[in-house]
Each structure stands twice: as C-alpha cells, then as structure tokens.
Structure 1
C-alpha cells in the first residue's frame, strides 16, 4: 500500500509525545510533569523524552517499567484516528498514520475521511521536501481547518492503490503550476524586504484565512519561528529572496491542496444526504467476539449529552446483514494500562472505551492514584456512582465516554470528604534480584492493606505465580510488584461486591484478574465441557 500511509519518524515531536504521555499516565502523576525540558530531544527520540519524564517524576512512574516500555505502551494507546483532537494538540502537525479497515465481505479496504488529510500531509512532505518541521505544521493547520467540517460525522470511503495513485497524480499536477511570474516574484521580494518579522508573520497567516489563528497562540509562534530560522540561516542579502520563495511555495502548496480537496468532495467532505450509514464498524475483541454499536448501525443522531454517555452494542450474529451496508473490522486495542479510545458514532464528537476497560482504569486510579484502600475501610465507600455506569444486568459489551472514569473518581472522592486527602505509604522498590512471595505479603501489610482487606494475603500466591509467568525481564521488578498489589486489591474488591463481580463477568473481564474465583465462569466452563463430551 502507499508509502504516504506512514509518518516519518523524524516528524514525531516531543510536544506531541508529551501530550499523549500525560493522557496515558494516572491523573495524580501529571502535576509535576506538565512541563518537561525537551531542548536536547530531537524529533523521533521518543525513548529519550520518556526518560526525561521518568527522571523528573522522581518515583512516580515506577509502575510503568522503563522509559522504553512506557514509550511502547503510549504508542499503542495513542494509535487511533483523530487523536490530535483527543489530546488537544491542534498546534502540532499530524503524527499518527492513517488506519485502513478491512471489509468483512471482500478484500476492499476503507479509510476514515479525516485520515485522508493525514495522507495529503504526507504527500506534501514527499513532493515539497520542506527543510523545517515548522513548515509542515503550517500546512497541517490548513488541513485541520478543512478536516473540522468532518468532526460531526463518522464516514469511511474505499481506499486502494488506485485511489492513492490518483490523489498523488492530482497533487503533483497542481504543484507543477507556476504561481507567479518573475515580475511578480521580484515585486514580492521588494515588498517582503520592507516588512519586520511581525508584519511578515501576518502576511504568511493571510495565505490561510480559513485557519483560526487565535485559537492557539502556538500557531502564530510556529510561523514566526520558521521565518526567524530562515532569517538566521541565510546571509542578509539573500533573506528577501528566500522569504519570497518560501511565501510562494507555501501559497502554492495551500492552493494545490485546496484544489485537490474541492475536486474530490466525496472523499473530503461530509455526505450531503445521509440517514443510515453505508459503512459500519464491527468491533472485534481479544476473545474474537464481534459486535456493533446500535446507534451506529441505526444511524441515530448521537449528541454530546447525558443520553450518549453509554453506547450499547449487539452481537454480529444478531445483525441482519444487508447489501446496502458495508461492515468493516475495527479491532479493540489495549496498551498495558489503558485502552485506545474510539470515536463515537455518527455526529458524536466524543471518544469512548468499553465499560470493562473504564472499570479497570478507574480501579487502577483509585488504587495507585488516590490510594483509596490505604486510607478508608471498605464499609466507608459509597459505590452509588459505580452502579450508574457499571451495570451487572447488561450482558453485552457496551461503551462509556472516556471522561466517565474522571467523573466517577470525583464522585468517590467527594463522598470520602477529608479521608481522600489523608497521607498514604508508597510502594517500596523491589530488590535488584527481584521479590519473593513473602516480600509481596510484607508489602501488602506495609501499605496497610491487611487492615482494609484482612484476607488479602491469601490471594498473594496465585497472583505472584501469574505475575512471575508474564514478567518481561529475568528478575521481577518494581513494576511487577505494582501489578501484584493491584491484582490482590482487585480480587478483594470484586469478592466484596457481587454487583461489580457480575459486571466484570458479563463484560468478559474475569481473565484480566488472575486468581479471581468466578462461579459463573466455572459454571460456563462446566457446561461447555459437558456439551463437548456429549
């Protein structure tokens, strides 16, 4: 498939990675990492930047393993379409590769319309050979201004080599046009020579009137930075000529892109008349189960209100297939600590994750962010906010908005009052040669968890065996100790709440809690074994 579906590694900026990383780590760890020095970090040096985050955090990021592991998990977590809107990095260029989805009926591939703008950006990189990534950002601002028209629609189009080649030919054709005569170039050179840097910045901004330059100060700073760099690199006598050439190239590129977009409205614009979608995502989980969002299948208009906080699904077996709808495969993606967000259906601007993923992310936050079970007894907790979102009666997978975890956590903290801010002990580091089962039991006691859950040490053995089996290094590390402590607390919580335990079972999450004894799972296994024998 086309090379323009890949993002060159040197375009991965530390600023973009910083935003993604903050979205991945626990909220309580972010305060000290809002600003991370990246002066000596070049584009594409993701692990080096992560190490800087580790160094600045002190002890807080130990649960994520190493800088290399965190970088890899952030890469998995952030690999979804329109992630620049999710991470609020509108001042950055596109840095996530377009995703192709395979049809379940044929070998046809489909692409989200918004990802086609990433494709255009990558073509510009190839054809214009910009020597400044700031220049790439300026092009991306204009593309994002066009993409904004798609924020309230979720539409896919067919994409193959023929489509890619056609777009490439059209853009090449437009870029070959000469925008100015020599006379106009000379006039432009004289005009720019009379402008100071601020005036020149404004003139460049006028080339892209559709961009909302006031929405983010960094947009103007990027243009100013590009022009300043050129001013410092070239000899004084050459600067007017270089500025004029840059202005012409920038203007030509923008006009060429606009022409390609205008000539292909079915690819880059929302459909004029649209009731029932022609392409519907079929989500596939790790257990190979497949399901669709009911709202997406029916074409219902989802708005960002409380009504769309929960999105229900139906199994693919229950869907009556029709020739009018193309079903495409969308796999659920999870990093170690978080699931990759999924854009909501139809007109929704929100992102979603499965309810079971939201539950485990919430528990991780309560356990290591707030350290709730080190501060209060189980009987002191008000789980009413849990009941509103983690419904044990729903047997099919369902989605929750990504901000649900924060809302539930805020509700829990509010119910705890002053207890939520009580001091709590930190997990101690594992020794260089690892930790033993007894070390794990000692740590559970050190953290005060044996007072909240008197039986918690009883689960340590099964958890220890599982953590040891999946460890990434020769010896168990501190991050493995965090995993074990989390699993032990999860077992205690689920064994105390039949509702939550039933919810986790119905949402197929029991296997994610090693050592959990689920009677429903045991009964299901028994039935399946009996059926197989008979």
Structure 2
C-alpha cells in the first residue's frame, strides 16, 4: 500500500478525513480539538509522514484512541475509507488540494471499459505526477489542483464515459512534448533573463493571470505565501522560477486543449448529444448490488422514462438493491444502462 508522490494527501485533507473517520465522542481527544493547536497548512504527506503524524495523535490522546488500532492500522483503514470517486467533495477538501486517490476504471458487464468523469481529472493529475518530478513543487501542485477542480462541474453527478486508453496515452505524449524544455532555446533564455530581474509582484501576477482559474480570496492568500517562498529563495534561481512557470502554463494549456477536444467527457449528460447512462455495480463476496438512489437517478434520466421514480436516501444511510432484484424488476430497462464493476486496471 506504499503510495507514490502522485497521490500524497495534504495536511488539511488529512484532518478532514480523520475527523470524519473517528466517532464524534472521541474527537475531543485529538490535537485538532485543542485551543492551542496550530493548523498545518500546505504540507503534503507520503505514507511514512502520515503514519508518523497518526502516531503523534495517538500519543497525544493518552490512550483514549487506542481502540482504533496502531498508527499503521489506522493509516491502512484511512486509505480504504477515503479512496472512492468524488471523495474530495464528500470530505469538503480545499479546491487547491490535489486528488489523493488512484484513477479507477470500470469494466462493464458488456465487457467495455468506462470511467467516472471525476476520475478523468484524477487521470490528468496522475500523468503529471508520474512523468514530472517537479510535481513535488508546491506551486505546481497548488495551481494545477486549483485548475482541475475549478473545471470539475459534476459534483452532484455520478456519470461515466467509455474509456479509450489510447486517448490518454496520446495526451500524455503531447504533454511530454510540450513540457520538454530545452534550456538552450532562445525563448526559454529570454524567460530566464526576465525572471532574474522581475519583481515579486510581477512574478506573482504571472501565476495569478494563468488562464482557466477563477481565483477566490482564500486561494490568493495561499498563492501569495507559496510564490513568495519561491521568489525569496537565496540565491535567486531564475532557471527554477522559469521552469516552474513554463511547466505550469504549458500543462494548463494542454489540459484545456484536451478538454475542448473531448467536451462529452467533461460536461454533464444533459449537455451531451450521445450520453452514456451507467451505474456502478459493487461486489462483496458473492453478493452484487447497486446504490438505489444512483440507479433511480440514472433510470429517471433515460429519454425513454415517462414516469420518473422518486427516491431519496434517508440521512446518514445509503440503501442498496441486489443485482438479482434489479434484473427481476427492471429487466426491460437494463439494455439501456451500462452496469460497471470496479476493475483492477491501472494507469501506468
């Protein structure tokens, strides 16, 4: 379960997940509940760092949290607990915190691969994280995460598109081509020369003016902190400053080009000419089931549905329907819907 640097979790996201994971009556025993707690901001943790911090929480609780297990066990449970599509919406993560899940792809019962639209954004982040070590740079992670989540407009939807790995491999190749910076090129030399003389406010404005991001005040405050720490490095490294700006801008440009070429992948089904209607099929041993609310939402969105079925989960409860019951009661409608099981496909 060793995580690579492409799905690190931010300190803020960890706090949100951990606070939802433990029972309400136990929250008072965590460091987060203390008045003198200084919230860590802008840190990204790998597996070891996360386990170390969990151990600090356990030590600080004076044994009040020992029923949750060891730091290693809690870490493993937290990874399982938070690893699902749209988890960042559920935990109300900041828009500038990166995705910390793997991009899952589902295999439908028709033997076709489909992908949750939210996971397309995770896939885009994964491409950068796997191919560019500078992803570990706070400024690159911060701005690209903000851009991707600003573009993600399907928070209330569980929608899929058919997945073609070739599309992503082609985009990955194009990103690599665009980001292959030749420091000897005249254009980059000019940018580097500009960076060596630029003022802090001008440098910050370059990042703030990147297209495709709607900055909110809280984001600008964080941007100011990150850019200033980069600008104030001694000695000033114009090459690094140039590289990070070039990489960030080129990546956003490439993402936007890809999104414009595949609008059906990013827009809600209601705005697509040929939408894919799909529902997730979960499996627990020999039991297979769907989420009732999700199934009826998809069923009601079908053009052939004349009388929508009103269904809503009760608070803090998700009702399910066994697949056998779905087939028995909705056999005639199933051909119109892709039913997808989680598959072990991985994006390399």
Note whether the superposition's TM-score is higher than 0.5.
yes
Evaluate the alpha carbon distance shift between residue 262 and residue 245 of structure 1 in structure 2; reply closer, same or farther with a 3 A threshold: same
Q: For 1:157 and 1:189, how far apart are their aligned partners in 2?
A: 45
Aligned to 1:8: 5
What does residue range 400-479 of structure 1 map to in structure 2 within 5 Å?
none
* 1:212 match: secondary structure: coil
Aligned to 1:3: none
Structure 2 residue runs of 5 or longer lacking an equivalent are 303-309, 344-348
Of 310, 313, 317, the residue aligned with 2:327 is 317
Greater RCO, 1 or 2 (C-alpha within 8 Å, sep 6+) = 2
Q: For 1:191 and 1:163, how far apart are their aligned partners in 2?
A: 36
Of 192, 213, 216, the residue aligned with 1:213 is 216
CA contact (8 A) 1:278 1:324 kept: yes
What does residue range 232-311 of structure 1 map to in structure 2 within 5 Å?
232=233, 234-236=234-236, 239-271=237-269, 272-273=271-272, 278-286=277-285, 288-293=287-292, 294-300=295-301, 308-310=312-314
Q: For 1:283 and 1:187, how far apart are their aligned partners in 2?
A: 51
Q: For 1:64 and 1:312, how far apart are their aligned partners in 2?
A: 26
Structure 1 residue runs of 5 or longer lacking an equivalent are 1-5, 332-534
Aligned to 1:342: none
Q: CA RMSD in A?
A: 3.6
Evaluate the alpha carbon distance shift between residue 173 and residue 155 of structure 1 in structure 2; reply closer, same or farther with a 3 A threshold: farther
Aligned to 2:305: none
Question: 1:170, CA displacement in angstroms?
Answer: 3.6
Deviations 1:176-197 (A, max 9, x none): 599xx8368637744773423x
Aligned to 2:150: 145
Aligned to 1:57: 61
Q: For 2:155 and 2:171, how far apart are their aligned partners in 1?
A: 22
Deviations 1:132-183 (A, max 9, x none): 1442222111111111x222432112225434323323433444599xx836
Question: 1:200, CA displacement in angstroms?
Answer: 2.8
* 1:327 match: secondary structure: strand
CA contact (8 A) 1:138 1:223 kept: no
* 1:150 match: secondary structure: coil
Q: For 1:153 and 1:193, how far apart are their aligned partners in 2?
A: 47
Aligned to 1:434: none
Evaluate the alpha carbon distance shift between residue 187 and residue 230 of structure 1 in structure 2; reply closer, same or farther with a 3 A threshold: closer
Aligned to 1:76: 80
Number of matched residues?
A: 314
Of 96, 113, 125, the residue aligned with 1:121 is 125
Q: For 2:52 and 2:138, how far apart are their aligned partners in 1?
A: 19
Aligned to 1:461: none
Q: For 2:74 and 2:340, how far apart are their aligned partners in 1?
A: 30
Q: For 2:93 and 2:250, how far apart are their aligned partners in 1?
A: 26
CA contact (8 A) 1:38 1:49 kept: no
Evaluate the alpha carbon distance shift between residue 101 and residue 140 of structure 1 in structure 2; reply closer, same or farther with a 3 A threshold: same
Question: 1:203, CA displacement in angstroms?
Answer: 2.9
TM-score, normalised to structure 2, is 0.75
Of 326, 342, 351, the residue aligned with 2:338 is 326
